[in-house]
A and B are shown apart, each in its own frame.
Chain A
């Protein structure tokens, strides 16, 4: 693979911005109530205003760092195309919806669960399977965002090669 680290950093950031924009637009247009920055931020603080700001920051840095895993994946298989990136993003999105988000109530310090109810500490609504508790449009918008993320990264390596 032939690409400079600086450009990889830039495209990792671009892909994260595109993914965040899709997720935020989904909230704005009323298709989903999923807010990953809020879920991430409340891991660290119970203050809503701080949680949102910190959540966005951590989420963007996380997305940007994740790009390097994608680059490693492209390199390991030797496929440098936008569609493979999109496919990787889709699988990543499915994993997020089916495994990661439903696990949150067991690891998130401020998330309630249908087993243990609400406590002074745990008040956030859990996402449920495929995060449909946040609206039936959530699986689609999440998959769209993750697919776009992978496609942008794949397009970059395709162009770079």
Chain B
């Protein structure tokens, strides 16, 4: 995917984030372009999840700027941040479905807040549409405790896309799933990209998921962008650290 002609939807410059004396992100820079899937690779504990939590404002950056649709979220008020969040979806590693609500209520919850102007009929139609997209229309009245790991990830993805986000942040979408379900989730990520024309940052250390979904990759090491490039550039790399992931 050609990126130089595309519009930047996220622009991160010199991002720093520490926890106590541990510096997790050190002058990290990243651009996400309109309509692309950017995979961020890295070892466990390398700061991948911290990065996307900074982008959505769940963690506050120590310094640097994070521009989402040209708005620096590090300086935004709570109210303005809420407006930005309406355009950004987040798929949690654990799914994070509300366990006291049914699948339908889980999907209705963000929809009622982000698109409060919708009528009940429109809400129901939207919920059915996204559940059909993830292939789980029959799970409408189930509780999260009645769902398998793969189903939780799918419903969680449905909850993310139900508000039509322009950007989707995936936190380890295939972790803890068997290879078949992982492939299904990776395919769903691609379908969502095409159907909703969303830009995505996919945090993962699952190489198969990266192979299936990435338009571009960034390797995160020691809090910095160690290497950036296309899938073929990564696969042809002679760098030991990158080879260790791709062998």
Do these two chains really belong together in a complex?
A: no
